[in-house]
Structure 1
Amino acid sequence: MPRSRHVPVLLFGAVLTGLLVYWAGLLYRGMWHGETAPEVGSLARYLLGIGLLLAALGAVAHLNYRLAFRRWMLRPSGGWQYGTWLLTLAWVLFELLQLRTDHVPEFIDENLLMTAVLLAVIAAYGYVADALRARRAQVELQQQKTEAELTALKARVNPHFLFNALNTIYNEAQRADNEPVADLIQQLAGIMRFTLQESTQPLTSIEHEFSFLEKYLALQRARLPERATLRVSTRLDWDGQPATIAPLLLIPFIENAYQYGISFTHPSYIDLDVTVENRRLRLHVANSRPPAALLPGHGTGIATARQRLALMYAGRHELRIDQTADSFTVTLTLDL
């Protein structure tokens, strides 16, 4: 641990020790009866009981957060399930308190109050823990973004040189009346321009994102040969309503299908359907899994996309990935 981090740790330990000693002194004097000092063992057992009670409360609160809060409260329609769970937990807590007081009627109001306090602490722990988790994830995402930008700056070739080179090749293709090659160069230039410019923005329009995907699909169509054993079906549909999306969010799922779903020696297929209606996006990608697609490293891009969705669209998306020995399917719904 660096020296600069020792100071706050030692300060925390000193304050904690002083506070515990101060409280123990108050309890010790408060238990003084006449000239007889209280039994130290009784005080130790009393303090140990308080510590165990707090530890049990912390454990219940943490389990509630991990098993119930994250399972239901982070989903759009999970509020009712989480509310039902809290009511059940309140019932159990109340019955435990009743058992502790031997079900004496005079303690019912006190047990109800304690149940409400304990339940409030447990519920509040979930919100605080989730806020801290989201904060840590945001900091981690920012660090990863900074590292990626630095890496890109180190490895990136001057974009002006690349665009000038593409323009030169494009002009040569037109001069030779080779329109298919000229069109492909235009598609590649559009992909590079989007990657270098739009990807630096937090959001881009659906129109720009679809234009980028169409250029990518056009290059893939030109790359793939026409074979009876190869079937590729693609559809991009947008209702025209203004909407924005994180740039390059969908391409990992599509690129994954082309990278691992195409085979020139085995029957293979890709089915892609992307629709945006009423600012709700639905992506469905299904592809075959030829034997060559089962190599290690499969799906790295999807893991990154899953993390971006969790950080940028928490509670606003549903991602389902199904895979078998010969197929891979991705279904994504996203509220824009």
Structure 2
Amino acid sequence: MRTLAVRIRAIGWLWLYFVGFPFISFGQDVGLATIQVTDETNTLLGQQVSYYIDTTGQLTPTEAWGKPYTAETKATPNFATKPYPVYLRFSVTNDSKDTPILEAQNPMLENITLYQIMDGTPKLIFDGGVDQPFPNRPFQSPWWAMPLPLETGMSGTFLLRVQTGFAFHLPLRMHSTPEYVDAHQKISIFWGTYLGVMVFALIYNLFVFFSVRDRSYGYYLIYLVFISTFYLTLEGLGFQYVWPNIPQLNYQLHFFDALVAISVILFTMNFLQLKQKAKRGYYFAVFMLVYFGVVLFVNTFVDFSLAGVMGQLGSVILALYVIGVGVYALFKGIYVARFFVAAWTLFMSTAIIYFGALNGLFPYTFLTSNALYMGNMSEVILLSLALADRINLLKRENRKKQEALIAQERENQQAKLTALRAQLNPHFIYNSLASIQNYILNHDRKDANDFLTRFSRLIRNILDQSDKPITTVAEEFEALRDYLEIEKLRMGDNFDYELFIHPDLDAHEAYMPSMLIQIFAENALWHGLSPKEGHRQLRILAEPANDGLIIIVEDNGIGREAAYQQKTGSPYQSKGTKMVDYKIDLFNQQRAQPVTLSTLDLTDAQGQPEGTRVEMMIPASA
């Protein structure tokens, strides 16, 4: 494992060496430049120092002092991820009233020692590092503040030795004591503002999360916690205020960085609904989750500096991915991606300014040196807006769905009412009641009782079946028998009907749309058989088929063409196809295969209409 780690780490060093190569200057040995300190001094020392890289890692300060040094050409020295000690030398003249203060503005330095050259020999005046307890520092500041033992008017030469396995940028600033105090008051105000924004965002989104229970808010809250922890660790504030006596936690910086990346990925996947709307983006996000899981493993069990190299590479890829997938979502019409893209684009832009300032591409000022954190605050605000926008969009979509469901429910209720009214045809009810009245007036109690029993049973069946989309063939034929017996009394002895269920068909286990046959039976009676002179017959058959059952409704009436010509003057209008379609649609929702209908015009040998035949093929399997 250790051998593999060394090889991978070497590859990482090579990668970052060549990435950082343009930002590291080399030259011939140079002399010492003198830094003048006045009461107003607050300046970067980059271009006033020279450096030597101890590639052996074995030199003593005395040996390093005699090596050839290279002049630094940038305001902020940056040595990428070099694992070697770096020596920097400079000379200072104190023209201020107080003690000059040298400050190295990188909290994550593993070892930093300052020597004053006395008679050609380095004398140790400061020894610190991120692996030492925080209270040991002479100044309780996250940066390395080193007072120089120079009284007013005195000069001195100094040698600074620095080594770290973290990112090796080294902004060096010389302060007079008053300027140091003023600068740190400004920094304290800035970080107080940063923490205020992050805490407010955390509390606000926590309340919203408990209100809406949206998973995106949960991932966003996790991101807020991890990004705040990471930046506070990166800037040494976590070490100063949270774990001052546990320096080992500083080495979890890349662990926190990987957790930030994982929370960003999870938030992006859920917020943009990648699994449903962008499969490739989703699979790449899963790959990145695995990658940063490996970073966590490497940081914990292999080597923290290797984890840093892997984390930096992965973070660049992740930043480009998040912006890219956000733009893709925006072009795909995912409206809520607008604030998402704006947030990450702004954050990426400020990150470029921040790292550009560290590498000398931009002036190293208060704004550029804190651009990353300003961008983070702006990003947090924009992402909060994005989440609010998403919730509002979801509310609008839910409102539309609810309105559609209400409209559909109204339509269904109207269809049920229409179907019920159609089944309870007023002319049929009037004629039935008139027949019952006639039996009573003629003192035909037996027939009146039979008729009334059938009529009430039919009405009950119609009411019971009105809310049931499916019924059995046995129940359907039972209701048909009551209906046809009542109609037979109306039409007289010249009307006969036949209800036949094939013996091979289990009528109690065969299902069909409820009250469907009655529609065709009524149409046959009113439009096909009622206008016919002579004997009138209606046959209704139920037979098994290969994949279900077949229902046949056949009459010997006047045929569809003649019925259509007479329909206008009829007191009873055909129910048409709407109710039939409604019943069949309800039935088809529970079947893999739909119900099929076919209508045949029957003719005699001379081609004259001889009735109508309707066939319904009803599938058996759900």
TM-score range, shorter chain: 0.3 to 0.5
Compute the TM-score of the two structures, normalised by the length of structure 2: 0.26
- Greater share of residues in helix: 1
More relative contact order, 1 or 2 (CA 8 Å, 6+ apart): 1
Compute the TM-score of the two structures, normalised by the length of structure 1: 0.45
